[in-house]
Amino acid sequence: MKLNIRALIGVVLSLMVSTLAEAGQMELSGSFSFQQTNYGSSSNTQWSRRWNASAGYVFWDGYEEIEISVTDAFYRTQISGFEDTSYHDQIYSLNFVQGFTSRNSYVQPFVKVGIGQLNRDASGSVSGGSSPPAQYDALTAVLGAGLKVYLSRRVGLKAEGTTYLSGALLSTWKDNFAFSFGVSLYL
């Protein structure tokens, strides 16, 4: 089942903007992560690059937030004579974020849960002639935890670990896990 998550995100974003005049505030965030591993030589590597952009409506007390998020990730594995694969993921999600301190605190730990659409394009081959599915689209559950550090009332830093659960199975949390750092602006 392919949920039209983009249309859902558009509706939620328009509701967030229309209610901004109330006591809450908007949070705009961007984050990035990069990882590379070499296996003995420069021809045997694995690397990934991931960026994320999100917009959220933080309710009046600062503990709860509704967030829409877009993630773009690219993974490449090259192991001479064994594997040469590339994966390009795009994830669109709608999340509920629960903070544990008010927005008046300088540090706020948080958790999030949501629903998303994972669109994956893959290419390459593995020894024995097999190759990954060329395209994979799936509805996914989103889980995350992190820490916001407020530098001022308008700017903050954000560290977050997020996983996208394939088939909404908790046992798949390690399959699509990433840790990233970013910046948040509060309007």
Contact 175, 168 (CB under 8 A): no
Exposure class string for 42-51: b at 16+ Cβ within 10 A, else e = eebbbebebb
- Tens-of-pLDDT digits for all 187 residues of the chain? 455 666 666 666 666 555 554 567 899 999 998 888 887 766 788 888 999 999 999 887 778 999 999 999 998 888 887 888 888 989 999 999 999 987 788 999 999 999 999 898 888 888 777 777 777 788 889 999 999 999 998 999 999 999 888 766 677 667 778 888 999 998 8
Question: Phi and psi of 20, rounded to 5°?
Answer: -60, -30
C-alpha distances in Å from residue 46, one per residue of 36, 99, 172, 182: 6, 35, 20, 23
Which is it for strands 25-38 and 107-126: parallel, antiparallel or unpaired?
unpaired
Domains and CATH numbers, the chain: 5-186 (2.40.160.20)
pTM as predicted:
0.76
What is the per-residue pLDDT for 105? 87
What is the per-residue pLDDT for 1? 47
**Read out DSSP for 149-183?**
EESSSSEEEEEEEEEEEETT-GGGTTTTEEEEEEE
